[in-house]
Amino acid sequence: MTTRKKSAGFTYFGILMTIVLIGASLAAAGSAWSMQKRRAGEAELIHVGQSIRRGIASYYNATPTGANQYPKSLEDLLSDKRGTGIVRHLRRIYRDPMSNSLDWELINLPDGSIIGVASRAAGEPIKTRNFGPWEAFFEDASCYCDWQFVYLPQLVQNSSVTP
């Protein structure tokens, strides 16, 4: 009878250790998945931000009267009626992948014109190096809200890079 109790206790201990190991493995996998999801969100934020910046640049450079203008709203990028036809500088207003909302932080001139956008997410970026020329000032940013996608013609003139 005693031997049977000892083996039952050993089996119980073995099952507990297996459950602990499975739990630790799942926790590690969840952490890796979470990090991968954040990295993918950052890459998407850069892609979407660049698309909006290119839309602002296209709007600015397509001003029919010659006096370049920035858009007054993001909706102006969807349907620009300033010329003879409708021009679409952006297909749609993209969601901010870090906050999962359409509510972008707008970067405005004093007259209210939009020169860029930034995420409203306050998380700390994983990526801090190896940005493209238009995002070089993102290095060492403390939050995603510091990643500002701005179009300024002066930067284009001083650079060989297109927006």
What is the per-residue pLDDT across 22-68, written as a single tens digit (0 to 9) for each? 888 888 777 778 788 889 999 999 999 999 999 999 999 998 877 88
- Listed range (6-10, 12-16, 152-156) with the worst mean pLDDT: 6-10
Kindly state whether residue 118 falls inside one of the protein's structural domains: yes
CA dihedral (126, 54, 71, 115) in degrees, to 10, reads 40
pTM of the predicted structure, to 2 decimals: 0.78
Kindly state whether residue 23 falls inside one of the protein's structural domains: no
The boundaries of the domain holding residue 64 are 40-157
The total of structural domains in the chain comes to 1
The phi, psi pair for 84, rounded to 5°, reads: -75, -30
83 Cβ partners below 8 Å, 6+ apart? 62, 64
Kindly state whether residue 98 falls inside one of the protein's structural domains: yes
Kindly state whether residue 111 falls inside one of the protein's structural domains: yes
Rounded to whole angstroms, the Cα distance separating 128 from 138 reads 7
Kindly state whether residue 27 falls inside one of the protein's structural domains: no
Task: Say if residues 90 and 52 touch (Cβ distance below 8 Å).
Answer: yes
